[in-house]
Amino acid sequence: MRQAHKIVRVILGNSDHPSLEVRLAFMHLLRKLLAQVFAYSLLRPQVRLKVDRSLVDFLDRDLWDTRLVVMFFHEPWTEPTPLQVQNLRSYLETGGQILCVHSPTASCKKNPDFTALLGGTFLGHGPIGTFRVSRVSGAPGASLPNHPLEPFDLTDELYTHRLEPGIQVEYTGSSDQGTHALAWVHRVGDGRVYYFSPGHLVPTFRSRRVRILLRRALSSLVS
């Protein structure tokens, strides 16, 4: 585990999706959640937040000093090289942790090896609508087992994915579009990816239950 490593790297992207307003709302929430999570850490590390505006810039970095990676971007045209994807795989296999939100699974469409590391590849979504978020019974993910979130309604895009074998689905989203995996844990070697699919709208990041869910996910990843 990378307990002593003190850098949190955020790949934020610079496209129109997610919009600038949504990215600002996400970063505002992320800073608050990281402050809460690390304040309760026994190690109390002095964490530095570093932001990359493109996936390629991030993938070319040496990640030895990185405690956590946060992905919130959409780059469908980006084609990482096999060496860049292997760099990310090596980070995970040696205990790296990734929080992935919304559209990274819809990126790098010509290189499915990248999205396979995240646990699923985007297939599509219907119109923005309201769906019911429910925790999968017995899911061994990031939520506290004795204090699960009660089902709640959320208005956003409901993604469908081609899921990788072995992922642990923690939450589903259900609407007249069907029931789909909404949040999952994907283990790669000693590392983990926690994926949460909503994130197209500002109110998503102002939802009290979404904040609780993401705080628990972060706590699990950096513990």
Range of the domain at 92: 7-222
* pLDDT at 142 exceeding the cut of 70: no
Q: 163 and 195 in contact (C-beta within 8 Å)?
A: no
Query: What SS3 state is found at 91?
Result: helix
Map tokens 């904040």 to a residue.
211
What mean pLDDT is reported for the chain? 90
190 pLDDT band, cuts 50/70/90, is: very high
* pLDDT, mean of residues 138-167: 83
* pLDDT, mean of residues 54-61: 90
User: Higher model confidence: residue 2 or residue 148?
Assistant: 148
* pLDDT at 5 exceeding the cut of 90: no
* pLDDT at 99 exceeding the cut of 90: yes
Quickly count: other Cβ atoms within 10 Å of residue 203's Cβ.
12
* pLDDT, mean of residues 64-72: 94
Would you say residue 2 lies in a domain? no
Q: Report the CATH number that the domain containing residue 35 is assigned in CATH.
A: 3.40.50.880
Would you say residue 1 lies in a domain? no
- Residue 148 preceded by cis peptide, ω within 30: no
Q: What's the structural domain count of the chain? A: 1
* pLDDT at 1 exceeding the cut of 90: no
HSE toward the beta carbon, residue 41, CA cutoff 13 A? 21
